[in-house]
Amino acid sequence: MILAIDIGNSNVTLGLYADGNWKHFHRLPTKTGQQSAMFYQMGCTSWLMEQGIEAAAIEQVAVSTVVPALRRTFEQLSLHLFGREALMVSPEMYQNLRLKLDRAEELGTDLFANAVAAHYLHQQDCIIVDFGTALTFTVVDKSGQLLGVSIAPGLKTAIRSLFQKTAQLPEVPLEMPASAIGKDTVHAIQSGILVGYVGLVRHMLSSIRAEVGPQYMAVATGGLSAILHPLQADFDAIDPHLTLDGLRIIAEETVKTIIP
């Protein structure tokens, strides 16, 4: 059984994979500080107990993090709970994916995992759109060459920034409005952000394809990928667990490398 852990800026997502399928998922808020180690240890332990999973059943732990402060926390958690070293994912670990970037070491491991999963699962030219704290577009061709990444503020980030920087605007729920013309303050913000992001995503997909070719399929992932309903027809695949699949694939490939 593989435990995949994706540590993002807003949430830590965990998935248990066994017998060719994802069995259980869990999400915890991202926390740093002195109490974070105890928080995650208790959270993981409680979740596994609820699912009836014993620590000995975990054969591999694969971790992606964009929060450097939590790297050591999860390295220690893996050793303490499962008695094994966590596989801390980095681009150097998957040699079949050639990185075409000026600063490859700056590529987030979550985006790297997304590219690995899309390449492995689809074997086609892909644009992966990840709706997370940041809205990212990762471009990988069918040969496994990662061409580059585009990054914009995510939906929650945009709404939270608007709320924090203005005195009279409320923080609003992420719900797609029925109209592009706001009838009250909440509706106006939802329209400006959510309808606006539909246009942003479509324009980015169009611009990327104009550069690399119209054959590139679009794959959506991330916890917020289901919110922008008008975009569903713009994607060839919607996979909310793509990052975890990438971690799982990297873990499996690493074992094959070590044990031919």
CATH number at residue 78: 3.30.420.40
For residue 165, the model assigns a pLDDT of 61
Q: Does 80 share its domain with 182?
A: no
Please give the model's pTM, rounded to 2 decimal places.
Answer: 0.89
Residue finishing a domain among 88, 112, 135: 88
Are 134 and 180 within one domain? yes
Instruction: Work out how many domains the chain is built from and give that number.
Output: 2
Residue-averaged pLDDT of the chain: 89
Check whether residue 63 and residue 132 sit in a common domain.
Answer: no
Q: What is the pLDDT of residues 177-197, one digit of tens each?
A: 888 998 888 888 888 888 999
Whether 130 contacts 243, CB under 8 Å: yes
Is the predicted pLDDT of residue 136 greater than 60, yes or no? yes
Same domain, 131 and 220: yes
Residues 155 and 237 in one domain: yes
Using an 8 Å Cβ cutoff, are 222 and 132 in contact? Answer: yes
pLDDT for res 259? 45
pLDDT of the residue at 260? 43
User: Is the distance from CB of 173 to CB of 189 less than 8 angstroms?
Assistant: no
Answer yes or no: do 130 and 206 share one domain. yes
- Quick one: average pLDDT of 200-212? 97
Point out the catalytic residue in the list 6, 19, 102, 110.
Answer: 110
Determine the structural domain holding residue 51 and report its residue range.
2-88
Say yes or no: 143 and 193 in one domain: yes
- Evaluated on CA atoms 232, 16, 143, 100, the torsion sign reads positive
* 91-101 pLDDT tens trace: 777 777 777 87
Distances (CA, A) of 154 to 67, 159, 250: 17, 9, 26
User: In the prediction, which pLDDT does 99 show?
Assistant: 76
Greatest Cα pair distance, the chain, in angstroms, is: 63
For tokens 């107990």, the residue is: 49
Q: Are 54 and 148 in a shared domain?
A: no
Residue scoring higher pLDDT (207 or 177) = 207
**Confidence band (pLDDT; 50, 70, 90) for 255?**
low
Q: Is residue 131 part of a domain?
A: yes
Residue 110 catalytic? Answer: yes
Question: Do 181 and 129 share a domain, yes or no?
Answer: yes
Residues 131 and 234 in one domain: yes
Model confidence at 243: pLDDT above 70? yes
- Range scoring the smallest mean pLDDT among 169-173, 202-206, 235-239, 256-260: 256-260
Tell whether 96 is covered by a domain. no
**Amino acid 256: pLDDT:** 61
- Confirm whether 94 is domain-assigned: no
Q: Which residues in the chain belong to E strands, given as ranges?
A: 2-7, 11-18, 21-29, 60-65, 87-88, 98-99, 126-131, 134-140, 145-153, 217-221, 237-238
Contact 195, 106 (CB under 8 A): no
Tokens describing residue 85: 């070293």
| Domain end marker among 71, 88, 105 | 88
Statement: residue 230 has pLDDT above 90: no
Check whether 168 has a pLDDT greater than 90: no
Domain contains 251 = no
Q: Span 55-83, mean pLDDT?
A: 94
Same structural domain, 75 and 134 = no
For residues 140-151, average pLDDT: 93
Stretch among 122-136, 161-175, 198-212, 238-252 having the lowest mean pLDDT: 161-175
Determine the pLDDT at residue 158. 82
Give which of 155, 108, 159, 151 is closest to 129, Cα–Cα: 151
Name the percent of the chain lying above pLDDT 70: 94
